[in-house]
Amino acid sequence: MAPCIGITCLISEQELNNPPLVGARRAYIDSVVKAGGVPLLIPPLRENTSLDQLLTRLDGLLIPGGADVEPEHYGEDAHPTSGPFSKERDSAEIRLIHGAIQGGLPILAICRGIQVLNVALGGSLIQDIPSCVPGSLNHPQKNNPSARTSIAHEISIEDGSILHKMLGVDRIGVNSLHHQSIKRLASSLKATARSSDGIVEAVEGMGGEFLVGVQCHPESLWQATEPRWLRLFEEFISRCNQKAATLRH
């Protein structure tokens, strides 16, 4: 039986005469399916008991990209460039992250995902790299229409990390569509990749569990530019499979 992978959803603004839409970008869904998982879209539910019940049905949790995390979660006022925010999504994802870690579920966190993971575990964020980090690389790639499928910069990967074992290289190219990044790293996470300007581009848990966050968008890269990034999804699904097998026995 293929492992069931929860993918947390974004929520759109309410439009005239229409309630908000809830959904996930296709590339995340395709990546889970390609790697052998069954995707289950998780809406940003307000009811914690529903979120907790959903978690019991999952073999892994994927936290995808999206808007900025509200800075009140790490005790800061919002930078002028920060936002818009989604209170519902922030609180649902923070709840799910804690529950997944408690239940030993593998977690893959992408872009906003690595940021919300760090915040959920007690870390903080650089709210705007271009204005807060002088001399930084062009991480937002704001005016690049093909930013999702282009290599923006390289990352250097820590020896011995899951990422390093999986990719088998010290350096690899990434796309970059983020204006925020990790500032104070949560005490239960370690940085496993950085760009040349020191920005944290990947994190992992301390204990060998599959708790992996990346700042780039591998779901868009493997299909277009850098096929090696599919390995991240394959390794994630393989670990979810192992988890599912222990639950069934």
The answer to whether the beta carbons of residues 166 and 231 sit under 8 Å apart is yes
Is 238 an interacting residue with respect to Mn ion (CB under 5 A)? no
Q: Any idea which residue has 């040349």 for tokens?
A: 196
Residues 149-178 interacting with Mn ion (rule: CB under 5 A): 176
**Site residues for Mn ion, window 173-192 (CB under 5 A)?**
176
Question: How many residues sit in the footprint of Mn ion (CB under 5 A)?
Answer: 2
Stretch touching Mn ion by CB under 5 A, among 6-14, 131-139, 161-169, 186-194 = 131-139
DSSP 101-124: HHTT--EEEETHHHHHHHHHTT--
Q: Which stretch binds Mn ion (CB under 5 A): 70-78, 132-140, 141-149, 182-190?
A: 132-140
Which of 29/119 has CB closer to Mn ion?
119
Which range touches Mn ion (CB under 5 A), out of 135-143, 205-213, 218-226, 232-240? Answer: 135-143
Contact present, 155 and 202 (Cβ < 8 Å):
yes
Contact flag: residue 73 with Mn ion (CB under 5 A): no
Q: What are phi and psi of 9, to 5 degrees?
A: -100, 155
Active-site choice (217, 226, 235, 240): 217
CB 144 within 8 A of CB 150: yes
217 counts as catalytic? yes
Single out the residue of 89, 112, 139, 164 in contact with Mn ion (rule: CB under 5 A). Answer: 139
Q: Which is nearer to Mn ion, 8 or 136 (CB)?
A: 136
**Residue 83: Cβ within 10 Å count:** 14
Task: Identify whether the C-beta of residue 202 lies closer than 8 Å to the C-beta of residue 214.
Answer: yes
CB of 156 to Mn ion, least distance (A): 12
**Strand ranges (E), 76-206:** 107-110, 125-126, 153-157, 171-174, 181-182, 189-194, 200-205
For Mn ion, the closer of residues 59 and 226 by Cβ is: 226
Considering the complex, state which of residue 176 and residue 180 has its C-beta at the smaller distance from Mn ion: 176
**Active-site residue flag, 219:** yes
Q: Which stretch binds Mn ion (CB under 5 A): 36-44, 139-147, 161-169, 221-229?
A: 139-147
- Stretch (H or E) spanning 53: helix 48-55
- Nearest Cα neighbor of 54 from 116, 8, 22, 123 is 8
Are 235 and 242 spatial neighbours (Cβ–Cβ below 8 Å)?
Answer: no
Given 9, 111, 216, 240, the catalytic residue: 111
Residue, CB closest to Mn ion: 176
List, by residue number, the catalytic residues: 111, 217, 219
- Site for Mn ion, rule CB under 5 A: 139, 176
